[in-house]
Amino acid sequence: MSVHSPPEIYVGLMSGTSLDGVDAIVADFAAAMPRVLGSAHVEFDAPLRATLLRLAAAGSDEIDTAHAVGLTLADLYAHAAQAAIAAAGVTAVAVRAIGCHGQTVRHRPERGYTVQLGNAAALAEHTGIAVVADFRAADLAAGGQGAPLAPGFHAAFMAHARLERVVLNLGGIANITRLAAGQPVIGFDCGPANILLDAWTQRHLGEPYDRDGNWARSGRVDPALLARLLDDPYFSHPPPKSTGRERFNLHWLEQRLEAPGRIAAADVQATLLALTARTVAQAIAAHCGESGELVVCGGGARNDALMQALAADCAGWRVRSSAELGLPPEAIEPLAFAWLARERLAGRPGNLPAVTGARGPRVLGAVHLPPPTPS
Protein backbone atom coordinates (compact mmCIF):
# COMPACT_ATOMS: atom_id res chain seq x y z
CA MET A 1 0.00 0.00 0.00
CA SER A 2 1.43 3.37 -1.00
CA VAL A 3 1.63 6.21 1.51
CA HIS A 4 0.70 9.63 0.25
CA SER A 5 2.14 12.83 1.73
CA PRO A 6 -0.45 15.33 2.96
CA PRO A 7 -1.29 18.14 0.53
CA GLU A 8 1.16 21.03 0.56
CA ILE A 9 -1.06 23.51 -1.28
CA TYR A 10 -1.91 26.75 0.51
CA VAL A 11 -3.53 30.04 -0.37
CA GLY A 12 -2.04 33.34 0.75
CA LEU A 13 -4.01 36.59 0.91
CA MET A 14 -2.57 40.06 1.40
CA SER A 15 -4.12 43.52 1.33
CA GLY A 16 -1.60 46.10 2.47
CA THR A 17 -1.36 49.74 3.46
CA SER A 18 -1.47 50.84 -0.18
CA LEU A 19 -5.21 49.98 -0.15
CA ASP A 20 -5.18 48.98 -3.82
CA GLY A 21 -6.87 45.62 -3.32
CA VAL A 22 -6.32 41.96 -2.46
CA ASP A 23 -3.46 39.87 -3.82
CA ALA A 24 -4.08 36.12 -3.73
CA ILE A 25 -1.76 33.27 -4.63
CA VAL A 26 -2.00 29.48 -4.59
CA ALA A 27 1.34 27.90 -3.77
CA ASP A 28 2.71 24.38 -3.56
CA PHE A 29 5.26 23.96 -0.76
CA ALA A 30 6.08 20.31 -1.53
CA ALA A 31 9.47 21.12 -3.08
CA ALA A 32 12.46 23.00 -1.69
CA MET A 33 11.17 26.25 -3.22
CA PRO A 34 7.50 27.20 -3.20
CA ARG A 35 5.86 27.08 -6.60
CA VAL A 36 3.15 29.59 -7.45
CA LEU A 37 0.33 27.69 -9.13
CA GLY A 38 -2.06 30.58 -9.65
CA SER A 39 -2.75 34.14 -8.61
CA ALA A 40 -5.45 36.78 -8.67
CA HIS A 41 -5.89 40.44 -7.79
CA VAL A 42 -9.20 41.97 -6.70
CA GLU A 43 -9.29 45.76 -6.52
CA PHE A 44 -10.91 47.76 -3.75
CA ASP A 45 -13.59 50.09 -5.05
CA ALA A 46 -13.46 53.79 -4.15
CA PRO A 47 -16.08 53.66 -1.33
CA LEU A 48 -14.30 50.77 0.43
CA ARG A 49 -10.93 52.50 0.06
CA ALA A 50 -12.40 55.70 1.51
CA THR A 51 -13.90 53.82 4.45
CA LEU A 52 -10.61 52.07 5.21
CA LEU A 53 -8.79 55.40 5.09
CA ARG A 54 -11.34 56.83 7.50
CA LEU A 55 -10.90 53.88 9.86
CA ALA A 56 -7.13 54.36 9.87
CA ALA A 57 -7.68 57.55 11.90
CA ALA A 58 -9.78 58.19 14.99
CA GLY A 59 -13.43 58.87 14.18
CA SER A 60 -17.03 58.20 15.14
CA ASP A 61 -18.99 54.94 15.00
CA GLU A 62 -15.77 53.01 14.41
CA ILE A 63 -16.96 49.72 15.95
CA ASP A 64 -19.98 49.27 13.68
CA THR A 65 -18.11 50.45 10.61
CA ALA A 66 -15.12 48.19 11.30
CA HIS A 67 -17.25 45.08 11.69
CA ALA A 68 -19.28 45.86 8.56
CA VAL A 69 -16.06 46.42 6.59
CA GLY A 70 -14.68 43.16 8.00
CA LEU A 71 -17.57 41.26 6.45
CA THR A 72 -17.13 43.10 3.14
CA LEU A 73 -13.45 42.20 3.17
CA ALA A 74 -14.28 38.56 3.90
CA ASP A 75 -16.38 38.51 0.71
CA LEU A 76 -13.53 40.07 -1.31
CA TYR A 77 -10.96 37.73 0.22
CA ALA A 78 -13.15 34.75 -0.68
CA HIS A 79 -13.55 36.02 -4.24
CA ALA A 80 -9.77 36.53 -4.58
CA ALA A 81 -9.01 33.09 -3.12
CA GLN A 82 -11.52 31.36 -5.39
CA ALA A 83 -10.17 33.20 -8.45
CA ALA A 84 -6.61 32.17 -7.61
CA ILE A 85 -7.69 28.56 -7.02
CA ALA A 86 -9.43 28.53 -10.41
CA ALA A 87 -6.32 30.02 -12.06
CA ALA A 88 -4.20 27.31 -10.40
CA GLY A 89 -6.41 24.56 -11.80
CA VAL A 90 -6.88 22.91 -8.41
CA THR A 91 -9.95 22.32 -6.26
CA ALA A 92 -10.74 23.81 -2.88
CA VAL A 93 -10.44 20.39 -1.23
CA ALA A 94 -6.77 20.27 -2.30
CA VAL A 95 -6.01 23.43 -0.30
CA ARG A 96 -4.93 22.77 3.27
CA ALA A 97 -5.50 26.32 4.50
CA ILE A 98 -5.74 29.99 3.61
CA GLY A 99 -3.34 32.38 5.29
CA CYS A 100 -5.08 35.75 5.55
CA HIS A 101 -3.24 38.74 6.98
CA GLY A 102 -6.34 40.96 7.01
CA GLN A 103 -6.45 44.72 6.42
CA THR A 104 -4.49 46.75 8.94
CA VAL A 105 -6.33 49.88 10.06
CA ARG A 106 -4.43 50.55 13.30
CA HIS A 107 -0.97 49.41 14.34
CA ARG A 108 0.07 50.56 17.80
CA PRO A 109 2.72 48.15 19.09
CA GLU A 110 3.87 50.76 21.62
CA ARG A 111 0.42 50.33 23.21
CA GLY A 112 0.43 46.56 22.77
CA TYR A 113 -2.23 46.20 20.08
CA THR A 114 -2.84 46.06 16.36
CA VAL A 115 -6.08 45.83 14.36
CA GLN A 116 -6.53 43.84 11.14
CA LEU A 117 -10.01 43.65 9.62
CA GLY A 118 -11.44 40.71 7.69
CA ASN A 119 -13.82 38.22 9.24
CA ALA A 120 -11.82 34.96 9.15
CA ALA A 121 -14.76 32.81 10.26
CA ALA A 122 -16.87 34.20 7.41
CA LEU A 123 -14.00 33.57 4.98
CA ALA A 124 -13.82 29.92 6.08
CA GLU A 125 -17.60 29.67 5.67
CA HIS A 126 -17.53 31.20 2.18
CA THR A 127 -14.67 29.07 0.85
CA GLY A 128 -15.05 25.81 2.75
CA ILE A 129 -11.33 25.99 3.56
CA ALA A 130 -9.61 26.37 6.93
CA VAL A 131 -8.38 29.93 7.49
CA VAL A 132 -5.41 31.03 9.58
CA ALA A 133 -5.56 34.70 10.57
CA ASP A 134 -4.64 37.09 13.40
CA PHE A 135 -0.93 36.44 12.88
CA ARG A 136 0.40 39.41 14.85
CA ALA A 137 -1.33 38.88 18.21
CA ALA A 138 0.94 36.23 19.74
CA ASP A 139 4.08 38.20 18.92
CA LEU A 140 2.60 41.36 20.42
CA ALA A 141 1.57 39.46 23.55
CA ALA A 142 5.22 38.38 23.89
CA GLY A 143 6.36 42.00 23.84
CA GLY A 144 7.12 42.18 20.12
CA GLN A 145 6.12 44.63 17.41
CA GLY A 146 3.91 42.06 15.69
CA ALA A 147 5.65 43.07 12.46
CA PRO A 148 7.28 42.63 10.07
CA LEU A 149 6.43 38.94 9.72
CA ALA A 150 7.65 38.31 6.17
CA PRO A 151 11.34 38.02 7.24
CA GLY A 152 10.74 34.43 8.38
CA PHE A 153 9.68 33.54 4.84
CA HIS A 154 12.59 35.50 3.38
CA ALA A 155 15.03 33.60 5.59
CA ALA A 156 13.50 30.23 4.69
CA PHE A 157 13.55 30.66 0.92
CA MET A 158 15.63 33.67 -0.19
CA ALA A 159 18.93 33.38 1.68
CA HIS A 160 22.15 32.76 -0.27
CA ALA A 161 24.94 30.49 0.97
CA ARG A 162 27.70 32.99 0.15
CA LEU A 163 26.22 36.38 -0.75
CA GLU A 164 24.70 38.76 1.75
CA ARG A 165 21.18 39.51 0.60
CA VAL A 166 18.85 42.24 1.70
CA VAL A 167 15.22 41.69 0.76
CA LEU A 168 13.43 45.01 0.33
CA ASN A 169 9.64 45.02 0.27
CA LEU A 170 8.21 48.18 -1.26
CA GLY A 171 4.57 48.12 -0.27
CA GLY A 172 2.82 51.00 1.44
CA ILE A 173 5.73 50.87 3.87
CA ALA A 174 9.30 49.94 2.95
CA ASN A 175 10.87 47.18 5.03
CA ILE A 176 14.13 45.28 4.80
CA THR A 177 15.33 41.83 5.80
CA ARG A 178 19.06 41.21 6.08
CA LEU A 179 20.11 37.64 5.23
CA ALA A 180 23.78 36.97 5.92
CA ALA A 181 25.23 33.47 6.41
CA GLY A 182 26.06 32.73 10.03
CA GLN A 183 24.45 35.91 11.35
CA PRO A 184 21.04 36.59 12.89
CA VAL A 185 18.30 37.78 10.56
CA ILE A 186 17.60 41.50 10.88
CA GLY A 187 14.36 43.03 9.67
CA PHE A 188 12.38 46.21 10.24
CA ASP A 189 10.27 48.91 8.61
CA CYS A 190 12.46 51.65 7.10
CA GLY A 191 9.72 54.20 6.48
CA PRO A 192 7.17 55.21 3.83
CA ALA A 193 7.15 53.89 0.28
CA ASN A 194 3.97 53.74 -1.84
CA ILE A 195 1.81 55.05 0.98
CA LEU A 196 2.89 58.67 0.36
CA LEU A 197 3.74 58.36 -3.34
CA ASP A 198 0.27 57.00 -4.10
CA ALA A 199 -1.58 59.45 -1.86
CA TRP A 200 0.14 62.49 -3.40
CA THR A 201 -0.53 61.15 -6.92
CA GLN A 202 -4.20 60.54 -6.12
CA ARG A 203 -4.60 64.06 -4.75
CA HIS A 204 -2.98 65.87 -7.68
CA LEU A 205 -3.46 63.62 -10.71
CA GLY A 206 -6.54 61.60 -9.75
CA GLU A 207 -4.63 58.45 -10.67
CA PRO A 208 -4.21 55.48 -8.29
CA TYR A 209 -0.40 55.57 -8.53
CA ASP A 210 2.53 57.16 -10.37
CA ARG A 211 3.07 54.64 -13.19
CA ASP A 212 6.77 53.82 -13.56
CA GLY A 213 7.55 56.90 -11.46
CA ASN A 214 7.11 59.09 -14.55
CA TRP A 215 5.53 61.99 -12.65
CA ALA A 216 8.33 61.91 -10.07
CA ARG A 217 10.81 61.96 -12.96
CA SER A 218 9.20 65.15 -14.28
CA GLY A 219 9.97 66.96 -11.01
CA ARG A 220 13.11 67.93 -9.13
CA VAL A 221 14.07 66.94 -5.60
CA ASP A 222 13.73 69.83 -3.16
CA PRO A 223 16.75 69.52 -0.81
CA ALA A 224 15.21 71.59 1.99
CA LEU A 225 11.99 69.57 2.01
CA LEU A 226 13.92 66.30 1.87
CA ALA A 227 15.97 67.40 4.89
CA ARG A 228 12.80 68.19 6.86
CA LEU A 229 11.29 64.82 5.96
CA LEU A 230 14.47 62.98 6.93
CA ASP A 231 14.49 64.76 10.27
CA ASP A 232 11.66 62.58 11.58
CA PRO A 233 13.05 60.64 14.58
CA TYR A 234 11.59 57.36 13.31
CA PHE A 235 14.36 57.03 10.74
CA SER A 236 17.18 57.11 13.30
CA HIS A 237 15.33 55.02 15.90
CA PRO A 238 17.02 51.61 16.26
CA PRO A 239 15.16 48.39 15.42
CA PRO A 240 13.08 46.49 16.26
CA LYS A 241 10.55 48.92 14.88
CA SER A 242 7.47 48.96 12.66
CA THR A 243 5.23 51.70 11.40
CA GLY A 244 2.26 52.45 9.19
CA ARG A 245 -0.35 54.92 8.06
CA GLU A 246 -0.81 56.18 11.64
CA ARG A 247 2.51 58.00 11.35
CA PHE A 248 3.24 58.46 7.65
CA ASN A 249 0.31 60.11 5.90
CA LEU A 250 -0.52 63.31 4.01
CA HIS A 251 -0.97 65.22 7.26
CA TRP A 252 2.60 64.28 8.21
CA LEU A 253 3.78 65.55 4.83
CA GLU A 254 1.76 68.78 5.00
CA GLN A 255 3.26 69.63 8.37
CA ARG A 256 6.68 69.64 6.69
CA LEU A 257 5.70 71.66 3.63
CA GLU A 258 6.66 75.25 4.48
CA ALA A 259 3.68 76.69 2.61
CA PRO A 260 1.07 74.94 0.44
CA GLY A 261 1.84 75.46 -3.22
CA ARG A 262 5.34 76.89 -2.71
CA ILE A 263 6.87 73.68 -4.04
CA ALA A 264 5.48 72.32 -7.32
CA ALA A 265 3.46 69.14 -6.85
CA ALA A 266 5.77 67.19 -9.19
CA ASP A 267 8.77 68.34 -7.14
CA VAL A 268 7.10 67.06 -3.97
CA GLN A 269 6.59 63.69 -5.70
CA ALA A 270 10.23 63.59 -6.74
CA THR A 271 11.22 64.39 -3.15
CA LEU A 272 8.98 61.65 -1.74
CA LEU A 273 10.58 59.13 -4.09
CA ALA A 274 14.01 60.34 -2.95
CA LEU A 275 12.88 59.96 0.67
CA THR A 276 12.09 56.28 0.17
CA ALA A 277 15.38 55.55 -1.61
CA ARG A 278 17.42 57.53 0.93
CA THR A 279 15.85 55.98 4.04
CA VAL A 280 16.33 52.49 2.60
CA ALA A 281 19.97 53.28 1.82
CA GLN A 282 20.52 54.71 5.30
CA ALA A 283 18.97 51.63 6.93
CA ILE A 284 21.20 49.33 4.89
CA ALA A 285 24.31 51.39 5.66
CA ALA A 286 23.55 51.34 9.39
CA HIS A 287 22.54 47.70 9.83
CA CYS A 288 23.90 45.65 6.89
CA GLY A 289 27.21 44.99 5.18
CA GLU A 290 28.89 47.10 2.55
CA SER A 291 27.88 45.08 -0.50
CA GLY A 292 25.67 42.26 -1.72
CA GLU A 293 22.33 41.86 -3.44
CA LEU A 294 19.31 44.06 -2.79
CA VAL A 295 16.33 41.95 -3.87
CA VAL A 296 13.24 44.11 -4.32
CA CYS A 297 9.65 42.89 -4.09
CA GLY A 298 6.24 44.48 -3.63
CA GLY A 299 4.42 46.90 -5.90
CA GLY A 300 7.29 49.40 -5.77
CA ALA A 301 9.47 46.96 -7.75
CA ARG A 302 7.47 48.08 -10.81
CA ASN A 303 8.45 51.73 -10.26
CA ASP A 304 11.41 52.18 -12.62
CA ALA A 305 12.30 55.61 -11.24
CA LEU A 306 12.40 54.26 -7.69
CA MET A 307 14.52 51.26 -8.71
CA GLN A 308 17.00 53.62 -10.38
CA ALA A 309 17.11 55.84 -7.29
CA LEU A 310 17.79 52.80 -5.12
CA ALA A 311 20.63 51.70 -7.40
CA ALA A 312 22.16 55.19 -7.14
CA ASP A 313 21.78 55.50 -3.36
CA CYS A 314 22.76 51.93 -2.44
CA ALA A 315 26.32 51.94 -3.75
CA GLY A 316 27.94 48.50 -3.63
CA TRP A 317 24.63 46.67 -3.80
CA ARG A 318 23.28 44.95 -6.89
CA VAL A 319 19.62 45.95 -7.12
CA ARG A 320 17.43 43.29 -8.70
CA SER A 321 13.79 42.24 -8.72
CA SER A 322 12.71 39.12 -6.87
CA ALA A 323 11.39 37.94 -10.24
CA GLU A 324 15.01 37.08 -11.09
CA LEU A 325 14.88 34.50 -8.27
CA GLY A 326 11.69 33.00 -9.70
CA LEU A 327 9.45 34.76 -7.17
CA PRO A 328 7.10 37.40 -8.66
CA PRO A 329 7.39 40.71 -6.72
CA GLU A 330 3.65 40.92 -6.01
CA ALA A 331 3.59 37.30 -4.78
CA ILE A 332 6.11 37.57 -1.94
CA GLU A 333 3.82 38.91 0.78
CA PRO A 334 0.85 36.60 0.04
CA LEU A 335 3.37 33.75 -0.24
CA ALA A 336 4.67 34.67 3.19
CA PHE A 337 1.20 34.34 4.71
CA ALA A 338 0.55 31.07 2.91
CA TRP A 339 3.81 29.85 4.47
CA LEU A 340 2.84 31.22 7.90
CA ALA A 341 -0.45 29.30 7.67
CA ARG A 342 1.57 26.17 6.92
CA GLU A 343 3.83 26.80 9.90
CA ARG A 344 0.78 27.33 12.14
CA LEU A 345 -0.78 24.01 11.16
CA ALA A 346 2.56 22.30 11.78
CA GLY A 347 2.84 23.93 15.21
CA ARG A 348 6.08 25.72 14.30
CA PRO A 349 6.94 29.30 15.33
CA GLY A 350 6.51 31.91 12.61
CA ASN A 351 8.10 34.97 14.17
CA LEU A 352 11.77 35.91 14.42
CA PRO A 353 12.32 37.46 17.87
CA ALA A 354 15.47 39.26 16.66
CA VAL A 355 13.25 41.02 14.13
CA THR A 356 10.12 41.78 16.12
CA GLY A 357 11.61 42.12 19.61
CA ALA A 358 9.38 39.40 21.09
CA ARG A 359 10.60 37.50 24.17
CA GLY A 360 10.91 34.32 22.13
CA PRO A 361 9.59 32.26 19.22
CA ARG A 362 5.82 32.00 19.04
CA VAL A 363 3.38 29.94 16.97
CA LEU A 364 1.40 32.59 15.10
CA GLY A 365 -2.21 32.72 13.99
CA ALA A 366 -5.66 31.56 14.97
CA VAL A 367 -7.26 28.70 13.01
CA HIS A 368 -10.87 28.97 11.81
CA LEU A 369 -12.22 25.65 10.60
CA PRO A 370 -14.58 25.40 7.63
CA PRO A 371 -18.14 24.10 8.01
CA PRO A 372 -18.38 20.30 8.15
CA THR A 373 -18.89 18.49 4.87
CA PRO A 374 -22.43 17.12 4.62
CA SER A 375 -22.45 13.36 5.03
The reply to whether 298 and 208 lie within a common domain is: yes
Q: Give a yes or no: residue 2 inside a domain.
A: no
The reply to whether 165 and 291 lie within a common domain is: yes
The reply to whether 305 and 340 lie within a common domain is: no
The reply to whether 202 and 301 lie within a common domain is: yes
Residues of the domain holding 206? 159-326
The reply to whether 271 and 347 lie within a common domain is: no
Q: Is 349 helix (H, G, I), strand (E, B) or coil?
A: coil
What DSSP string runs through 204-258?
HH-SSS-GGGHHHHHS---HHHHHHHHT-GGGGSPSS----TTTSSHHHHHHHSS
The reply to whether 177 and 293 lie within a common domain is: yes
From first to last of its 375 residues, the chain has per-residue pLDDT tens of 344 455 699 999 999 888 889 999 999 999 989 999 999 999 999 999 999 988 987 776 788 999 999 999 999 999 999 999 999 999 999 999 999 999 999 999 999 999 999 999 999 999 999 999 999 999 999 999 999 999 999 999 999 999 999 999 999 999 999 999 999 999 999 999 999 999 999 999 999 999 999 999 999 999 999 999 999 999 999 999 999 998 999 999 999 997 767 899 999 999 999 999 999 999 999 999 999 999 999 999 999 999 999 999 999 999 999 999 989 999 999 999 999 999 999 999 999 999 999 999 999 999 999 998 776
The reply to whether 186 and 309 lie within a common domain is: yes
The reply to whether 306 and 345 lie within a common domain is: no
Q: Which pLDDT score is estimated for 101? A: 97
Q: Give a yes or no: residue 204 inside a domain.
A: yes
CATH number, domain with residue 83: 3.30.420.40
- The CA-atom distances, in angstroms, between 209 and each of 104, 197, 198, 264 are 20, 7, 5, 18
With a CB cutoff of 8 Å and minimum separation 6, the contacts of 34 are: 27, 28, 157, 335, 338, 339
The reply to whether 219 and 88 lie within a common domain is: no
Distance CA 234, CA 229 (A): 10
The reply to whether 214 and 138 lie within a common domain is: no
Q: What is the pTM of this model?
A: 0.93
The reply to whether 70 and 167 lie within a common domain is: no
The answer to whether 178 touches 185, Cβ cutoff 8 Å, is yes
Q: Number of structural domains, the chain?
A: 2
Q: Give a yes or no: residue 345 inside a domain.
A: yes
The reply to whether 322 and 186 lie within a common domain is: yes
Q: Give a yes or no: residue 231 inside a domain.
A: yes
